[in-house]
Chain A
Amino acid sequence: MTFDLYGFGPALAAGTLMTIKLALAALALGLVLGLLGALAKTSPHKLLQWLGGTYSTIVRGIPELLWVLLIYFGTVNLMRSFGEIFGLDDLALSAFAAGTIALGLCFGAYATEVFRGAILSIPRGQREAGQALGLSKIRIFWRVILPQMWRIALPGLGNLFMILMKDTALVSVIGLEEIMRRSQIAVSVSKQPFNFFMIAALIYLSLTVLAMTAMYFLEKRAGRGIRRSA
């Protein structure tokens, strides 16, 4: 069987680039949301605890696809009324922005739990030592807790990123020209659905392998100076 790309090679490559961009953008947003969520859940304030808990429970209980659709189609009126304030007509979220927000939201909800576990695993003495040295709360978190929890959270975050990368395929439903969307266009021309969706699958597989390799080196780097027990 010869593999004829019908000249869609560059289009698929552009789609792959778009997928990577979307995954990284959602990762950045998700890490921030996850960190905030974990801080809220571990804070002594009841209201913040409730807020963090509600965020992670509700977002994790609803399908990613529904979030993508809700944020893309559900914000049309909201964005329009925003636009009217600033005198901009037809202000709307692009598919890329909606996808980033939706996937970042879902990533953040799961990352909240990962970060929370990591924060709780830092011995109390570390925080107390920081307080004894007269560091401010923010300082303690930034200089003492964060560098240490990073190593513990990394494997969990790696798994979440793998899931996130596969979830980027969902954004094709709202028309973002990433791998799946480009493959669908190629299929509509070539009438060879199996070949092109198989190519898409192989691209996702190689992206997964790439992410796994990156995670291996990141974990190795984060674990430097730590003696491994068996």
Chain B
Amino acid sequence: MNWDIIIKYLPRLFDGAVLSLELVAIAVLAGLILAIPIGIARASRHWYIRALPYGYMFFFRGTPLLVQLFLVYYGLAQFDAVRQGPLWPILRDPFWCATITMTLHTAAYIAEILRGAIQAIPAGELEAARALGMSKTQTLFFITLPRATRIGLPAYSNEVILMLKASALASTITLLELTGMSRTIIARTYLPVEIFFAAGMFYLLIAYLMVRGFKLLERWLRVDACQGR
């Protein structure tokens, strides 16, 4: 093991890790916002409201993220309408392509978590809200969503870690995040074991910090206090 090389390239790997974190942060936050209406619609009692989110989730959960990335980054450029369109400066940029794709991808998974969480709320609590005279909107904002947040939080933290690992795919569309940066360094040093090892340690460290962070969040939201029915 050549430790000097690892130490020499640590700052570059750190830059890569920062880009990885940016990608993940944008994707899981934007994905959460996008997933809320999708998840609510998916849990609807009416089939015509369920159908569209179902199709969306089926596509994004049934195909590899790599295909989705290539579809957005390489695929959209096939159409002249896109290349001449006003969004081209964004869709030409690998960073935005990666964040858009990861957002759409993770939103499908978060929506599924949300649907499960919404459907896991005991019916009695919703009935109690109705009995207190809350309107449907009030019930949604004061009972359904706060309860679903706490039920779904552990699954959401898993999804964030999965997205951290999925962010490695951004290296295939030329982004120099942690994995991309490692490959660039290896192309120069020919030391794959050392550099990939260091990158792996970075991923482990970030995942560990995320797990700790979500544990704190769970305590702050008093998730365990709500589980005792």
Which residues of A come within 8 Å of B, CB atoms?
A: 58, 61-66, 69-70, 73-74, 76-77, 166-170, 172-173, 180, 183-184, 187, 191-195, 197-198, 200-201, 204-205, 208-209
B179 an interface residue at 8 Å Cβ cutoff?
yes
Please determine whether A200 and B67 come into contact, CB atoms closer than 8 angstroms: yes
Cross-chain contact A172 with B62 (CB below 8 angstroms): no
Q: B71 and A208: CB pair below 8 A?
A: no
Whether B213 sits at the interface, judged by CB under 8 Å, is no
What bracket does the count of chain B residues touching chain A fall in? 35 or more
Residue B50 is within 8 A (CB to CB) of chain A in the complex: no
Q: Check: B122 CB closer than 8 A to any chain A CB.
A: no
- CB <8 Å contact, B204 and A62: yes
In the complex the two chains form, what is the Cα distance from A124 to B67 in whole Å? 46
In the assembled complex, B166 has its CB within 8 A of some CB on chain A: yes
Question: Does residue B77 face the partner (Cβ distance < 8 Å to A)?
Answer: yes
Closest A residue to B75 by beta carbon equals A194
CA distance A187 to B186 in the complex (A): 28
Residues of B within 8 A of A61 (CB): 161, 203-204, 207-208
Query: 15 A–B contact pairs at CB < 8 A?
Result: A61-B161, A61-B204, A61-B208, A65-B171, A66-B196, A70-B196, A74-B196, A167-B64, A168-B64, A169-B66, A180-B66, A194-B74, A195-B78, A197-B75, A204-B63
CB under 8 Å from chain A, chain B span 49-105: 58-59, 62-68, 70-71, 74-79
- Complex-state Cα separation, A66 to B178, whole angstroms: 10
Q: Do the beta carbons of A170 and B66 come within 8 Å of each other? A: yes
A188 to chain B, nearest CB (A): 10
The residue from B65, B75, B179 contacting A66, defined by CB atoms under 8 A apart: B179
Q: Taking CB as reference atom, which chain B residue is nearest A65?
A: B168
Cβ contacts under 8 Å, B59 to chain A:
201, 205
B12 at the binding interface (Cβ < 8 Å): no
Q: With A62-B165, A63-B165, A70-B193 given, is the CB distance from A197 to B67 under 8 Å?
A: yes
Alpha-carbon separation in the docked complex, A168 to B65 (Å)? 11
List residues of chain A with CB within 8 A of the CB of B62.
204-205, 208-209
Using known A-B contacts A70-B193, A166-B63, A193-B77, determine if residue A63 contacts B203 with beta carbons closer than 8 Å: yes
